[in-house]
Amino acid sequence: MKRYCLALDLKDDPQLIREYEDYHKAAWPEVISSILDAGVIKLEIYRVSNRLFMIIEAAENFSLERKIQMDAANEKLQEWEVLMWKYQQALPVARPGEKWILMEKIFTVSSPPTSSSTQTYYPATAPPP
């Protein structure tokens, strides 16, 4: 499974933020279809203040570039994007015309797998006895 994390800002206006969230509570069926048809398994958007954070979990054959091309050819999705831009604003580091910006993963912590059998896990720096 592939995971992509992206960021974007909303205009810092409480009314506009409420409207944006309302649209996402009842996202257009064509928007949902375009996401799933591209191979996305799960998409979540989180918000803190006016900053948005999107997590996309997708099949191994998913291509972000192909999704962008599919979106560009989809009139209804383009209508949604134009409408959403009323609420959104580019991050300060965005290039002209760039909206959602792919984030770089800088840290990961994982727990060891669990199973019903008894196993002992050793840190990578300490080999088992």
Regarding predicted confidence, which is higher, 29 or 125?
A: 29
What total of structural domains would you count in the chain?
A: 1
Domain span at residue 84 reads 2-102
Contact call for residues 96 and 102 (beta carbons, < 8 A): no
CATH code for the domain of 26: 3.30.70.1090
Model pLDDT for residues 100-119, shown as the tens digit of each residue: 999 999 999 999 877 655 55
State the pLDDT at residue 117: 54
Predicted model pTM: 0.82
- 118 within some domain: no
- 86 within some domain: yes
The Cα–Cα gap between 64 and 128 comes to 42
- 60 within some domain: yes
Name the token pair of 108.
């990961």
Contact call for residues 50 and 40 (beta carbons, < 8 A): no
